[in-house]
Amino acid sequence: MELRKTEMYSVQEMILEKKRKKKVNMEKIIPKLLFLTAAISVFTTIGIILTLIFETFIFFDRVSIVEFFTEAKWLPFASTPSFGIMPLIVGTLKITVIAAVVAVPVGLATAIFLSEYASEKTRRIIKPILEVLAGIPTIVYGFFALTFVTPVLRDLFPSLDMFNALSPGIVVGIMIMPMIASLSEDALVSVPKSIREGAYALGATKLETTIKVVLPAAISGIMASIVLALSRAIGETMIVSVAGGSTPNMSMDVTSSIQTMTAYIVQVSSGDAGYGTTIYYSIYAVGMTLFVFTLIMNLLAQFISRKFREEY
């Protein structure tokens, strides 16, 4: 068989021909273009930080930074305004704590059930449902909190105000629960089978194995998932805007109206605070505080999961 001689042309010749014609060198340009797209994400971060810093500086030009952190009243719309962020932080933390009380036990129990007890079939049904739960827009959760959870809670506790911390707190908890469940489940599943088998072989029950062997081995992943989820709770906006009210206060009461940092930004943005007013700049100072809170928690989560990563 003479493959080539029967041919009318030579592929190699054609390739050479094409190569001579080619002018633009994509190989040099493309990596640079791609690097630029990658740089956009860095510029976004820089943009966020610079925006917050510049506008916050203008705010602190008008309102003392000492007042901002020490004053216990947030009354921007009063005739003698007061800009002490503490009430907003307290409101945010109230929501976060209530959310954690709901989400951590439920999320963790779900993760344990899915990774240790559930059959493959059950997992295949439940995991997509959790994904759906995680994908529901927050405004829908806000609507749900206001029109369902609050009325139900008010039937149970008649002293509850229409706007309160409890209802949005619980709903924020429901919103972040799938995140804890799914990230913790990943951590539990990645614990090697051999470690479990070691415990089973000693006659430990499934529960004992889970609590004493699997959970400790997966603890870093679980902690990281909780910290990340709580960071989401701190930054959650629409649920608290719709169902939490707009009364910043320092009380520990969860039955009355509150305001979180995020809800304040929404209140100002959807109102008519003119560009350049002190109130306008105050949303950047609040945004800056919020950003620092969530950044610290995100870094903490990364630190936890990196520090304890290579245990097995």
Partner 1 sequence: MKLINKSHVAKKMPARLAVNTICKGLFFLATLVGLLVLAILFYRIFTQGIGSLNGDFLQNFASRKPEEAGIKAALIGSIWLMVVVAPVSLLLGVGTAIYLEEYARKNWITTFIKVNISNLAGVPSIVFGLLGLTVFVRALALDRSILAAGLTMSLLVLPVIIVAAQEAIRAVPRDLREASFGMGATKWQTILKVVLPAAIPGILTGGILALSRAIGETAPLVVVGIPMFIAFLPQSFMDTFTVLPMQIYNWTSRPQEEFQQVAAAGIIVLLILLIFMNSIAVIIRNKFQKRY
Partner 2 sequence: MNMTLTREKESPAIGVENVGSAALTEKVYETSNLNLWYGENHALKNINLDMHQNEVTAIIGPSGCGKSTYIKTLNRMIELVPDVKTTGQIKYRNRNILDQSYKVEDLRTQVGMVFQKPNPFPKSIYENVVYGPKIHGIKNKKILDEIVEKSLKGAAIWDEVKDRLHENAYGLSGGQQQRLCLARCLAIEPDVILMDEPTSALDPISTLKIEELVQELKKDFSIIIVTHNMQQAARISDRTAFFLNGEVIEYSDTNTIFSNPNDKRTEDYITGRFG
Q: 5 to 24, contacts with partner 2 by CB under 8 A?
A: 5, 7-15, 17-19, 21-22
**3 touches which of partner 1, partner 2, none (CB within 5 to 8 A by kind)?**
partner 2
Spatial distance between the Cα atoms of 181 and 113, rounded to a whole number of angstroms:
10
With CB under 8 A as the contact rule, which of the stretches 61-69, 214-222, 248-256, 298-306 interacts with partner 1? 298-306
Q: Phi and psi dihedrals of 82, rounded to 5?
A: -130, 130
Q: Is the distance from CB of 70 to CB of 83 less than 8 angstroms?
A: no
Select from partner 1, partner 2, none the partner in contact with residue 80, using the beta carbon and a kind-dependent cut-off of 5 to 8 Å.
none
Letter string b/e over residues 170-188, b meaning 16 or more CB atoms within 10 A of that residue's CB: bbbbbbbbbbbbbbbbebb
DSSP label of 75: E
Q: Is 190 in the site for partner 1 (CB under 8 A)?
A: no
| CB half-sphere exposure, 145, CA atoms < 13 A | 31
For residue 112, state whether it binds partner 1 (rule: CB under 8 A).
Answer: yes
Site for partner 1 in 24-63 (CB under 8 A): 26-27, 30-31, 33-42, 44-45, 47-48, 51-52, 55
Instruction: List the structure tokens of 308.
Output: 């304890």
DSSP string across 106-143: HHHHHHHIIIII--HHHHHHHHHHHHHHHHS-HHHHHH
**Does residue 10 belong to the site contacting partner 1 (CB under 8 A)?**
no
Nearest to 199 by CA among 191, 210, 188, 187: 210
Alpha helices in the chain (DSSP H): 11-21, 26-62, 65-70, 86-112, 120-135, 138-144, 150-156, 166-189, 193-201, 206-209, 215-235, 238-243, 261-270, 278-307
> Which partner from the list partner 1, partner 2, none does 19 bind, CB cut-off 5 to 8 Å by kind?
partner 2
Interface with partner 1 (CB under 8 A), residue total 83
Of 66 and 162, nearer to partner 1 (C-beta) is 162
Q: Which of 177, 179, 222, 226 binds partner 1 (CB under 8 A)?
A: 177
Min separation Cβ 101 and partner 1, Å: 13
Q: Which one among 132, 202, 212, 312 touches partner 1, defined by CB under 8 A?
A: 132
Which of 96, 138, 249, 259 touches partner 1 by CB under 8 A?
138
Per CB under 8 A, the list member of 142, 169, 221, 248 interacting with partner 1 is: 142
* Residue 64: CB minimum distance to partner 1, A: 22
Residue 181 interacts with partner 1 (CB under 8 A): yes or no: yes
Report what 92 binds from partner 2, partner 1, none; CB cut-off 5-8 Å by kind: none
Q: Can you give the C-alpha Rg of the chain in angstroms?
A: 27
Report residue 297 as tokens.
């928690």
> Nearest distance from residue 80's CB to partner 1, in Å?
27
Please give the residue ranges that form the binding site for partner 2 (CB under 8 A): 1-5, 7-15, 17-19, 21-22
